[in-house]
Amino acid sequence: MAVIAKQCPDIRVCVVDISQKQIDGWNGPELPIYEPGLREVVDECIGRNLFFSTEVEAEIVEADIIFISVNTPTKTQGIGAGRMANIKNCELCARTIAKVATTNKIVVEKSTVPVRTAQAITRVLQSNDKGLDFQILSNPEFLAEGTAMADLAKPDRVLIGGQQTEAGLKAAETLVSVYAHWVPREQILTTNLWSSELSKLVANAFLAQRVSSINSISALCEATGADVQEISRAVGMDDRIGRRFLQPSVGFGGSCFQKDILNLVYLCESYGLDECAAYWNQTILMNDFQKKRFTEKMVGKMFNTVTGKKICLMGYAFKKDTGDVRETPSMFVLRDLLQEQARIHVYDPQVKREDMWSEMDYTCGVNKDNTPRLEESVVTATDPYEACDGAHAIAVLTEWDEFKTYDYERIYKSMSKPAFIFDGRNLMDHAKLREIGFEVHAIGKPDPNSFTDL
């Protein structure tokens, strides 16, 4: 919405939320989320044509176009638990719109939703007793955290789905005219509603599948002496495959990939497409395997025990340039190391301790009430050198650029020996670290202690 306000100074944009805390954050000096470049855009537009408010009903009355941009988490209980997306928030938005609107509206699904969610929203909106007409559009977002502002400024494509009726097509063209302020018309795609809804799930599934594919090969590389980065380069030079999303890692995370694939799996099962469901579910299973494999390797290389040992986790966000910890692989590594009774120090330049514990409780069910001495076992450091001081091992779990710039000779001198580095992002200069004295283990890289013919 901030980018729309920036690119369309003639359009008034108001973001509403029922949470006063969230709105105060957006109106204050510290935004509720970290995203490079967002602060500057908000500062440029706020008070001009960008506003943040808790006056939900009043803004619905005034709006011509309403974007539904609410969370659609995976259900944790009931039918479809663990896979099905819960669209309760979308329905509640639709009911509020139907209740308070006094004029016709265009209602846009911005949230990632299961295919045919628009059908449910349409039924709710059409049940209004005021004779109002609501046109429903699907406009999924394809941005990536950390590069969101650039993605929005120069998108690969903008996708708008609508009913293939005269009124539906007119509504779609109205939204097209908004994006056409800065996006070339040939990059704005219009489809039917169901194609647009499903496209977002499929796009994320394809991207996650590539990550799981190269991660599966990383395990084979470690067993055979091959180098996964050399394989990624060789394979990626094939134009039919391409280079992107072939970087091995400890696993994918974030709010979208796992949720959307599980949603896709459930949809396939719902339509009796069990083989399709099993195919996509394997992407999730491989990701789980990669996260577990990383921790097991740490324990195995450290003489089969980390009990009582200090381990520094460098990075906790699921990727660099964000503070987002949803489904972050670091959380699962942390959980497994806790079960091994390690002492863990976490350093991440953007992640807040309260967000760590909130996600850990929600996703892993780990909290201070059911995990004795949890607060003592996990320290969040504000200085990377402090986090590494006395540590037996460092696990690099987020690809923050600053991690490459540290004084590792100083770090090595401060650590217990032998000093281990487990690089879950292949971020570091492994040869240089070994020269300093570290024992280095990395994703998809052959261990020079295990092979004599590299």
Give catalytic residues, as residue numbers: 256
Round to whole Å and give the CA distance between 117 and 263.
Answer: 12
Short-list 453, 454, 443, CA closest to 214: 443
Q: Return the amino acid letter for 45.
A: C
HSE-CB at 339 with a 13 A cutoff on CA atoms is 11
State the amino acid at position 358 in one-letter form.
Answer: S
Strand pairing category for 158-162 and 134-138? antiparallel
Closest CA to 73 of 300, 369, 362: 362
List the structure tokens of 330: 């670091």
Q: State the burial class of residue 399 (Cβ atoms within 10 Å of its Cβ: 0-12, 13-18, 19+).
A: buried
Determine the residue type at 58.
A
Write the DSSP string, 208-270.
Answer: HHHHHHHHHHHHHHHHHT--HHHHHHHHHTSTTT-STT----S---SSSHHHHHHHHHHHHHH
3-class SS of residue 25? helix
Residue 247 structure tokens: 């970087």
Separation CA 8–CA 17 (nearest Å): 22
Residue 254 zone, left/alpha/beta (φ > 0; ψ -120 to 50; rest): left
CA 174 to each of CA 98, 181, 204: distance values in angstroms, whole numbers, following the listed order: 21, 12, 27
How far apart (Å, rounded) are the C-alpha atoms in residues 436 and 244? 32
CA distance 171 to 134: 10
What is the side-by-side strand order in the sheet with 105-109? Answer: 65-68, 105-109, 134-138, 158-162, 188-192
Query: What does R_g of the chain's alpha carbons equal in angstroms?
Result: 24
Q: Are 143 and 181 in contact (CB under 8 A)?
A: no
CA-angle at 250, arms to 249 and 254, nearest 5° = 90
Residue among 240, 26, 205, 7 at smallest CA distance from 115? 205
